[in-house]
Structure 1
Amino acid sequence: MHPIQHAQSRPDHPAIIMAGSGYTVTYGEMDQAANRFAQLLRARGFAPDDAFAVLLENTHHFFTLVWGSQRAGTLLVPISSRLTAPEISYIIKDSGAKLLVTSRGFDDVMEEVRKDCGDLDILVIGGEGEEDFEAALAAHSSQPIADPRAGLTMLYSSGTTGRPKGVRPPPPLDPDPQAIIPFIGLATMGAGMPADGSMVYLSPAPLYHAAPLAWCSAAQRLGGTIVIMEKFEPETALAAIEKYKVTDSQWVPTHFVRMLKLDPAIRSKYDLSSHRRALHAAAPCPVPIKREMIEWWGPIVNEYYAGSEGIGMTLIHAADWLTHPGSVGRAIYGKLHICGPDGEEVSAGKDGLIYFENDHMPTYHNDPDKTAEAMHPKGWMTIGDIGHVDEDGFLYLTDRKSHMIISGGVNIYPQEVENLLVSHEKVMDAAVIGAPDPDFGEKVVAVVQPLDMAEAGEALEAELRDYLAPQLARIKMPRLFDFRPELPREANGKLYKRELRDEYAAKAQPTG
Structure 2
Amino acid sequence: MIQVDQASIDAYTAKGWWGHATLGEIFLDMAARQPAAFAVADAPNRPALFGGKVKHWSWAELRQQTGALCALFDAQGLHKDDVLVVQLPNSVELHALYLACAIMGVMVSPVPMQYRAHELEYVTQATQAKGLISTQRLGSYLAAEAIQAMQANMPSLQWIWAYVDGSDVPLPAGVGVLDQLVADTVPWTEQQMRAHMQRIGLTANDVFTICWTSGTEARAKGVPRSHNQWLVMGESVIDAAQLPHGTQMVIPFPFVNMAGISTSLVAWLMTGGGLYHHHPFDLQVFLQQLQEHRVDYTVAAPAVLSMLLKSPELLEGVDLQRLTRVGSGGGPVAPWLFEQFAQRFGIEVINYFGSNEGASLASTPQDMPDQQQRANFFPRIGVAGLQWQSLTAQKIATRLVDLETGKDISASGQVGELRFKGPMIFSGYYNSPQVTAQAFDEQGYYRSGDLFEIAGERQQFYRFAGRHKDIVVRGGMNISCEEVENLLLSHPKVREVAVIGWPDEILGERVCAVVVPRNAAQPVSLEELVAFLKTVGKVAAFKLPERLELVDALPRNPVGKVLKRVLREEVQGAAAQA
- Which residue of the other structure, out of 404, 408, 417, is the alignment partner of 1:345? 408
Alignment of 1:28-427 (within 5 A): 28-105=60-137, 106-107=143-144, 109-118=146-155, 120=157, 121-126=159-164, 131-138=176-183, 139-143=185-189, 144-145=192-193, 146-148=195-197, 149=202, 152-158=208-214, 162-169=218-225, 171-173=226-228, 181-195=231-245, 197=246, 199-217=247-265, 218-257=267-306, 259=308, 263-287=311-335, 289-317=337-365, 319-331=369-381, 332=392, 333-341=395-403, 342-349=405-412, 350-358=414-422, 361-390=426-455, 391-403=458-470, 418=503, 422=505
Q: Please give the per-residue CA displacement for 1:311-350, whole angstroms capped at 9, x wherever unaligned.
A: 4544433624433541133432411211111221112322
How far apart, in 2, do the equivalents of 1:90 and 1:365 lie?
Answer: 13
**Partner letter of residue 61 of structure 1?**
E
**1:246 positional shift:** 0.6
How far apart, in 2, do the equivalents of 1:320 and 1:495 lie?
Answer: 39
Please say which of residues 286-295 and 314-323 is displaced more in the overlay.
Answer: 286-295
**Partner letter of residue 52 of structure 1?**
L
The structure-2 alpha-carbon separation of the partners of 1:293 and 1:343, relative to structure 1 and needing over 3 Å to count, comes to: farther
| Corresponding residue SS for 2:68 | helix
CA contact (8 A) 2:130 2:156 kept: no
Q: Please give the per-residue CA displacement for 1:381-423, whole angstroms capped at 9, x wherever unaligned.
A: 0221111232343222122213599xxxxxxxx99x94xx73x
**1:99 positional shift:** 0.7
**1:84 positional shift:** 1.7
The structure-2 alpha-carbon separation of the partners of 1:336 and 1:159, relative to structure 1 and needing over 3 Å to count, comes to: closer
How far apart, in 2, do the equivalents of 1:80 and 1:296 lie?
Answer: 36
**Partner letter of residue 203 of structure 1?**
I
**1:8 positional shift:** 1.4
Matched-pair identity in %: 20
How far apart, in 2, do the equivalents of 1:173 and 1:404 lie?
Answer: 29
The structure-2 alpha-carbon separation of the partners of 1:271 and 1:435, relative to structure 1 and needing over 3 Å to count, comes to: same
The structure-2 alpha-carbon separation of the partners of 1:383 and 1:258, relative to structure 1 and needing over 3 Å to count, comes to: farther
**Partner letter of residue 200 of structure 1?**
Q
How far apart, in 1, do the equivalents of 2:84 and 2:306 lie?
Answer: 36
CA contact (8 A) 1:433 1:497 kept: no
The structure-2 alpha-carbon separation of the partners of 1:65 and 1:500, relative to structure 1 and needing over 3 Å to count, comes to: same
**Partner letter of residue 450 of structure 2?**
D
CA contact (8 A) 2:515 2:549 kept: yes
How far apart, in 1, do the equivalents of 2:380 and 2:222 lie?
Answer: 27
How far apart, in 1, do the equivalents of 2:402 and 2:541 lie?
Answer: 26
Please say which of residues 199-208 and 227-236 is displaced more in the overlay.
Answer: 227-236
CA contact (8 A) 2:86 2:108 kept: yes
Number of aligned residue pairs: give it. 432
**Partner letter of residue 276 of structure 1?**
T
How far apart, in 2, do the equivalents of 1:292 and 1:508 lie?
Answer: 46
Q: Please give the per-residue CA displacement for 1:215-243, whole angstroms capped at 9, x wherever unaligned.
A: 11121231110011143122321221121
How far apart, in 2, do the equivalents of 1:14 and 1:55 lie?
Answer: 25
How far apart, in 2, do the equivalents of 1:507 and 1:72 lie?
Answer: 56
The structure-2 alpha-carbon separation of the partners of 1:71 and 1:322, relative to structure 1 and needing over 3 Å to count, comes to: same
| Corresponding residue SS for 1:76 | strand
- Greater than 6 Å deviation, 4+ residue runs: none
Q: Please give the per-residue CA displacement for 1:281-304, whole angstroms capped at 9, x wherever unaligned.
A: 344434455555555543421122
**Partner letter of residue 93 of structure 1?**
Q
| Corresponding residue SS for 1:66 | helix
| Corresponding residue SS for 2:431 | coil
CA contact (8 A) 1:154 1:168 kept: yes
How far apart, in 2, do the equivalents of 1:233 and 1:247 lie?
Answer: 20
How far apart, in 2, do the equivalents of 1:40 and 1:286 lie?
Answer: 49
The structure-2 alpha-carbon separation of the partners of 1:324 and 1:215, relative to structure 1 and needing over 3 Å to count, comes to: closer
Please say which of residues 280-289 and 232-241 is displaced more in the overlay.
Answer: 280-289
**Partner letter of residue 389 of structure 1?**
I
Name the counterpart of 2:385. Answer: none
TM-score, normalised relative to structure 1: 0.74
**Partner letter of residue 449 of structure 2?**
G
TM-score, normalised relative to structure 2: 0.66
CA contact (8 A) 2:417 2:452 kept: yes
Please say which of residues 280-289 and 31-40 is displaced more in the overlay.
Answer: 280-289
Alignment of 1:489-500 (within 5 A): 499=545
**Partner letter of residue 447 of structure 2?**
T
How far apart, in 1, do the equivalents of 2:430 and 2:550 lie?
Answer: 29
Unpaired runs of 5+ in structure 1?
A: 175-179, 406-413, 439-446, 448-487, 489-493
Unpaired runs of 5+ in structure 2?
A: 1-24, 46-53, 138-142, 165-169, 382-391, 473-499, 518-525, 527-533, 535-539, 555-578
How far apart, in 2, do the equivalents of 1:506 and 1:97 lie?
Answer: 43
Name the counterpart of 1:4. Answer: 28
How far apart, in 1, do the equivalents of 2:333 and 2:313 lie?
Answer: 24
**1:369 positional shift:** 2.7
| Corresponding residue SS for 1:89 | helix
CA contact (8 A) 2:333 2:375 kept: no
Name the counterpart of 1:24. Answer: 56
Task: Output the aligned Cα RMSD.
Answer: 3.6
